Amino acid sequence: MANEIQFGVDVGGTFTDILVRRERDGSIISAFKVLSTPSSPAEAIFNGIEKFFEEPANSEYRDAKFRLFHATTVGTNTLIEKKGARTALVTTRGFRDILALRRQVRPRLYDLAPVISPPLVQRDLRFEVDERMSFDGKVITALSPSEIDGAIEKIRQSGVDSVAICLLHSYANDSHERALAGAIKSRIPKVYVTMSSDVCPEFREFERTSTATVNSYLGPSVLKYMQSLHARLSSKGALVLSIVKSNGGLTSAVNAGRYPVHLIESGPAAGIMASAALGKALEIPDLICFDMGGTTAKVGVVIAGQPRLTTEFYADRFVDGKDVGGYPIKSPVIDVIEIGAGGGSLAAVALGGLLKVGPHSAGSSPGPACYGLGGDKPTVTDAHLIVGHLSAGTYGPRGISLDRNLAVEAMKKHVAAPLNWSVERAAHGVIELATAHMIEMVRIATLQRGLDPRDFALIAYGGGGPLHACDIANDIGISPVIVPPYPGLFSAIGTLLGRIRHDFVKTLLCDLLQIQQESLISGFADLENKAAVLLTAEETQHSDDAAIKLQRSLDVRFKGQLFEVNVPIDDGALPPPAELDSRFRKIYKALYNYELPDHATEIVNLRLVTVFGAGTARVPNYNSKKDGVRQRRQLRDPAGKSHEVTVIARDAIGPKEVIHGPCIIEDIGATVRVREGQTVTAIGLGALMIENAVRS
């Protein structure tokens, strides 16, 4: 149909962002926010859909078929709030306590009273079976029918909702896991089952067990959410429901329900994918992506146009601002640093008279004090309103007006009075402390990973990102700052730019130069067969390009090393082992600037990435209306003195127009704060570039 449309939806802790795009020309029809509904995230989505169709200006689309692309926090919130399923773990005898023993390394080395993330499966729900595989897949102790019967009886009596199966060395031979899983599914069909050999067929027992356990812990709630959302959307005329994965790709509701562990960083991944697409279009290939929403702030990196990926990350690692280890997940994910510092982060005075901002958030209910929805504690948003960075008019979601008097009252009671400060000084202190947290986060994402942040541009989005970006960039020495089109809803744009993507891995562990090429060909064929099964469960109608692109690679290391280097394999015939060995050595030399010519090389993993409908993701065109207003506003400094700055509506800035700071730009869903001595230029696609002014 000519008027088919796409909804891009990003559900956050405070707001749910809705962006609507017309399929035939890719133009944005509508972009707005609604308050999130944490107890039932789907309600906010349907509230947004109904708001769009109820608008008189959108009457031509009321009977249109639509496709919905969704970045979800259901899995993330379930893990953070510890509201997952009552889960059992079935493992090889002797490995019952692997979740509790973890690794030797502690998150904080010199902490004498460390707090570690608790196991998701309590000890009395960890069941052992007599069986054993060798590292190369040979059966040492067979899994007998009586052992299967005994395990099923324990599961039944425990009353669990979910089971994770992780048997020793199942990555090399999964026959025991398949036999056990098949029996459980047939005899206790209501129980959600995860096999480690399905979700994480890699060696390293703790990480594999953790990944399978997290998947089962999240499984029932995510599966129920996906099934319910898919059914309701279908009844409203939706053709496709696509979910954003942590690797930036898309998947169907069916596959998302099968692998919820792949959704942990869904929202941040969408924003970084949008950043990469915009960077390519603007020919700015190296970006630090800074996303500040209502609840959290996130930082990721794009290098040479590609988001930085990692194959292992730790979910729920930071609790109340402390590193507690988290839950390791072996799965390709866009590398993101996340902290509890958003517009809704609560400000308070801690013991000893120290100002504290975050990690707790006012969320969408009751929200910041200035929203007038019942919140009585000050937040970062209240601080910005007090000093004048934000307008007291309509802001954020439709129907929300900011009340400065409520913000002043909350800041005075909870921060200014206890510290014997003025309200303005307290508000500036809150903003500066929140900015300091985010500066440290940018340094962790770059300097601690061997990257110089001054080699990158900073792209800032989310409702609060452009408010803090220039201060962050100035402190670290980054230039320029890029503010994308629709900055307050930029992650929603990212949901529309992805392609179906699945990552597969198979541990091999053998000498590279001694392996037969036929073994490599056979191993990749196994991964391609698994890919074919998952692709049958994908809803592919959203893509006009039906091509399936396969990307093969090897994880290789020098024998005796603990970590490996990924070696891409070009399309076409698989190179012989000698050539693969040579490629690895060249990559290793480029990475570490030295060579180990006398050391043997070892294959660790085969990897396969399947991308369906691969094409060039493009940011939608932005049409400047040039009818926005310019006005003056009073800002208050820490001493309470006022000075005027120009406030400009984004629509009032024409293509290539240059504006000198200080000024405030009110954009869609976000406010941009420009410092004195900086210039703003509209550079195309609706993006703004902020640079330090050149003095003559």
pLDDT single digits (tens) 216-228: 999 999 999 999 9
Interior/surface letters 92-113, b for 16+ CB within 10 angstroms, e for the rest = beebbebbeebeeeebeeeeee
- Reply yes or no on whether the pLDDT at 695 is more than 60: no
Q: pLDDT band for 542, please (50, 70, 90 cuts).
A: very low
Identify whether the C-beta of residue 291 lies closer than 8 Å to the C-beta of residue 311.
no
The whole-number average pLDDT for the span 467-487 is: 94
What is the bridge-based pairing of β-strands 238-244 and 66-71? Answer: parallel
Identify whether the C-beta of residue 469 lies closer than 8 Å to the C-beta of residue 460.
yes
Q: Is 53 exposed, middle or buried (0-12, 13-18, 19+ CB in 10 A)?
A: middle
- Reply yes or no on whether the pLDDT at 380 is more than 50: yes
- Reply yes or no on whether the pLDDT at 459 is more than 90: yes
User: Tokens 């299967």 belong to which residue?
Assistant: 148
Q: pLDDT band for 175, please (50, 70, 90 cuts).
A: very high
**Residue 7's pLDDT is what?**
94
Hey, is 308 helix, strand or coil? coil
**Residue 454's pLDDT is what?**
94
Which residue has better confidence, 323 or 593? Answer: 593
- Reply yes or no on whether the pLDDT at 387 is more than 70: yes
Pick the range with the lowest mean pLDDT from 362-366, 429-433, 573-577: 362-366
**Residue 696's pLDDT is what?**
36
Spatial distance between the Cα atoms of 212 and 263, rounded to a whole number of angstroms: 14
CA distances 414 to 340, 360, 410, 435, Å, are 19, 15, 6, 20
Averaged pLDDT of the chain: 90
Contacts of 570 (CB under 8 A, 6+ apart): none
pLDDT in tens, 594-626: 889 999 999 999 999 998 864 445 676 666 666
**Residue 321's pLDDT is what?**
64
Q: Tokens representing 332?
A: 């390709």
pLDDT in tens, 98-127: 999 998 777 777 888 888 899 999 999 999
Contacts of 200 (CB under 8 A, 6+ apart): 171, 207, 208, 211, 212, 330, 331, 505
| Residue 304, number of CB atoms within 10 A of its CB | 9
Identify whether the C-beta of residue 422 lies closer than 8 Å to the C-beta of residue 416.
yes
List, as one string, the DSSP characters of 449-499.
GT--GGGSEEEEESSSHHHHHHHHHHHHT---EEE-SSGGGHHHHHHTT--
Which residues is 605 bridged to in the sheet?
A: 507, 555
Q: pLDDT band for 693, please (50, 70, 90 cuts).
A: low
**Residue 546's pLDDT is what?**
58
Pick the range with the lowest mean pLDDT from 37-46, 363-372, 622-631: 622-631
Residue 524's nearest CA partner among 557, 494, 493, 569 is 569
Hey, is 631 helix, strand or coil? strand
**Residue 385's pLDDT is what?**
95
What percentage of the chain exceeds 70 in pLDDT?
94
The whole-number average pLDDT for the span 350-363 is: 86
- Reply yes or no on whether the pLDDT at 202 is more than 90: yes
**Residue 540's pLDDT is what?**
60
**Residue 624's pLDDT is what?**
63
Q: pLDDT band for 65, please (50, 70, 90 cuts).
A: confident
**Residue 62's pLDDT is what?**
86
Residue 144's nearest CA partner among 96, 93, 195 is 93
- Reply yes or no on whether the pLDDT at 471 is more than 50: yes
- Reply yes or no on whether the pLDDT at 544 is more than 50: no
Spatial distance between the Cα atoms of 533 and 529, rounded to a whole number of angstroms: 7
Identify whether the C-beta of residue 15 lies closer than 8 Å to the C-beta of residue 36.
yes
pLDDT in tens, 253-298: 999 999 999 999 998 999 999 999 999 999 999 999 999 988 888 9
Give the chain's end-to-end CA distance (angstroms, integer). Answer: 57
User: Tokens 């030295």 belong to which residue?
Assistant: 594
Which residue has better confidence, 649 or 319? Answer: 649
